[in-house]
Structure 1
Amino acid sequence: MNLKTIYSTSPARGWLPWGLLAPVVCLALALVTEIPAGLILEPYVDPTGEPVGAQGLMAVLLVSFIAWMLAVAAWIAFVERRNAGTIGLTRGGGAAGFSRGLVGGLVMASAVVACIWWAGAYEPGALFPALQSPGALVAIAGLFVSFIVQASIEEIIFRGWLTSAITRRMNLIWAVVLSSLLFTLLHSSRENTWIVTVNILLFASFLSAWSIYSNNIWGAMGWHAGWNWLLATGFEVPVTGLDAGVPALAVSLVPAGPGFLTGGEQGPEGSVICTLFLVCGIIFFAWRIARKPKDGKADHNKPSGAQI
């Protein structure tokens, strides 16, 4: 594993920010785009800024993240002048990688919820209540698209652009640490328990390990999308503390156990069971990275991807 490059060795023809400056640039672009996005989102959020219903959540996922992605894409194209392959959007295998990741996210989310249920921390309610409402199914389908957009953009920004930029200026270890810490910061709040904060950091580390092993971000994008969507729509439980506002696609679950098992207001992502799954996932990909041939499966000497 080359600690000075990741995804592609195709050079940046512009200016790469210094390693410690890259997270600051990422944060600044997020803050700058939050202002126009907030104006557009006013009809879809309550006075506290929380999305109102499924329509509000879809609006937040699409408007906020697309605005941020446009700013980052402009930075990559006009300041760093790098191609898409250097941020993990490599040519070939994208659809297959994303699809495998999507299935993996659905399976892992289901397994976490099932284990919490098996531990006695959930009481089951109605089965497939969403099937009784055509409007709910439309909303769930809209959320599926919205979560694909949101999750893909987060992976492009954190595991794609930010990780690769820091790697080129410092090394891969620093890149994973700094990008994961910034991801944790932007997903944290004062109300979060320490388990929630640890899980956010593990979440970022898990997806970093997956991206490093596969030498692209396609699988991580799919996993992130499947995970978020199923937790939000499958069981009427919160995802990252948000209520999707739709009946359960699979089974309605009511918390009946301690917060360290159910995750409380954060949902399964705040559960110690989620902690165990993420730790196992990190160990699995670390083991696969260690066993991977040093030259990898990809040809690192060839530029890849189209210009953004």
Structure 2
Amino acid sequence: MRLVWQLLAVIAVAFVGGQGIAAVDGKPWLTLVVGLATAVLSVFVYRWVVGRTERRPVTEMAWEGAGPAFGRGTLIGVALFAAVMTNLFASGYYDVDGIGSATGAVGFVGFMAAAAVTEEVMYRGVLFRIVEQWTGTGIALVLTGVLFGASHLLNPHASVLGAAAIAVEAGGMLTAAYIATRNLWVPMGLHFGWNFAAAGIFSTEVSGNGTSEGLLDSTTSGPKLITGGEFGPEGSVYSVLFGVLVTLAFLWLARRRGHLVPRRRADRADAALTLSR
């Protein structure tokens, strides 16, 4: 039942926060406030519900070192998306015409903070963490990554190709970041940095959501396989490539640190019963 209670708690916060952000749509400063409040509430609710249902210190969201860990994740996310856009720019598929909307970028801070934190506590904090205890790291990574990608099919300009790309580059990369660090602050920062760079800085579509203009006045055009089309650069082959490389780096680090959980074997009693037969 802990899975049920934890999911219900974090989904409730995500729903209320989503309704709040929708209510202040078009008002960047209010979006900033509501989004940040949603992110903070998600952290406290996660800590509370996990502590109550599992009766243990919530070490994956410990306060100590939270700021630097979130900051490192954010820097990685921004740098990674900037690498994608640099390749699109060099290929002639991304053009910058000038400065866009600074206030729009401010609103995206709150919007993306809410999205990143609520999704991370749901997918990595609850789903991956508990499924991993049942199946081991590898199977849990694949299952929750596919689920994370499939959830993006509900977005307005979604595509199967885009959802598949999200499953690989984000579902894999964000989960691997959690496995390597065994805390949620790094993947939350990575998720936030990637999303904010996409919408708040480079003014591109984010997972087919039809986001408004951010800091740069820009246009993206070209082959769907390269640019991601209406889904945005997250559906680009460049995003998949960089996402896979970072995923492998995090998994390598996780292996070195001994953070990989092997697949659970049959209970000894069941094994003994099988042998007796």
Aligned equivalent of 1:124, options 96, 103, 121: 96
Distance 1:41 1:100 in 2: 26
Aligned equivalent of 1:252, options 217, 225, 235: 217
Instruction: Give the structure 2 partner of residue 194 of structure 1.
Output: 160
Superposition deviation, residue 231 in structure 1: 0.8
Aligned equivalent of 1:162, options 127, 130, 136: 127
Distance 2:259 2:225 in 1: 42
Please list the CA deviations of residues 41-94 of structure 1 after superposition, one character each: whole Å capped at 9, or x if unmatched: 6644xxxxxx55757965885687778777655542443344321xx2135332
Aligned equivalent of 2:149, options 181, 184, 195: 184
Aligned equivalent of 1:228, options 176, 192, 195: 195
SS of 1:187's partner is helix
Distance 2:243 2:15 in 1: 34
Equivalent residue pairs, number: 258
Instruction: Give the structure 2 partner of residue 4 of structure 1.
Output: none
Aligned equivalent of 2:67, options 95, 103, 128: 95
User: Which of 179-188 and 72-81 deviates more?
Assistant: 72-81
Distance 2:33 2:153 in 1: 21
Please list the CA deviations of residues 210-229 of structure 1 after superposition, one character each: whole Å capped at 9, or x if unmatched: 11112222221111111111
Distance 1:271 1:295 in 2: 30
Distance 1:177 1:121 in 2: 32
Superposition deviation, residue 99 in structure 1: 1.2
Q: Name which structure has the greater RCO, CA cutoff 8 Å, separation 6+.
A: 1
**Contact 2:17 2:38 (8 Å CA) reproduced:** yes
Cα 1:81–1:139 shift into 2, 3 Å? farther
Instruction: Give the structure 2 partner of residue 210 of structure 1.
Output: 177
Superposition deviation, residue 121 in structure 1: 1.5
Distance 2:259 2:248 in 1: 21
TM-score (norm 1): 0.69
Instruction: Give the structure 1 partner of residue 247 of structure 2.
Output: 282
Cα 1:97–1:266 shift into 2, 3 Å? same
Superposition deviation, residue 157 in structure 1: 2.3
Query: % of aligned pairs identical?
Result: 24
Aligned equivalent of 2:87, options 102, 115, 136: 115
Superposition deviation, residue 230 in structure 1: 1.2
**1:205 counterpart letter in structure 2:** G
Instruction: Give the structure 2 partner of residue 47 of structure 1.
Output: none
TM-score (norm 2): 0.76
Superposition deviation, residue 262 in structure 1: 1.5
Instruction: Give the structure 2 partner of residue 80 of structure 1.
Output: 54
Please list the CA deviations of residues 172-192 of structure 1 after superposition, one character each: whole Å capped at 9, or x if unmatched: 233323322332232223853
Superposition deviation, residue 274 in structure 1: 0.8
Cα 1:29–1:239 shift into 2, 3 Å? same
SS of 2:154's partner is coil
Instruction: Give the structure 2 partner of residue 153 of structure 1.
Output: 118
**1:194 counterpart letter in structure 2:** V
Cα 1:286–1:38 shift into 2, 3 Å? closer
Q: Where does structure 1 lack aligned partners over 5 or more consecutive residues?
A: 1-14, 45-50, 131-135, 297-308
Aligned equivalent of 2:137, options 161, 172, 176: 172
Please list the CA deviations of residues 79-116 of structure 1 after superposition, one character each: whole Å capped at 9, or x if unmatched: 3344321xx21353322221111111111111101111
Cα 1:114–1:57 shift into 2, 3 Å? farther
**Contact 2:14 2:38 (8 Å CA) reproduced:** yes
SS of 2:61's partner is coil
Q: Which structure is higher in helix share?
A: 2
Superposition deviation, residue 38 in structure 1: 6.7
Distance 1:178 1:200 in 2: 13
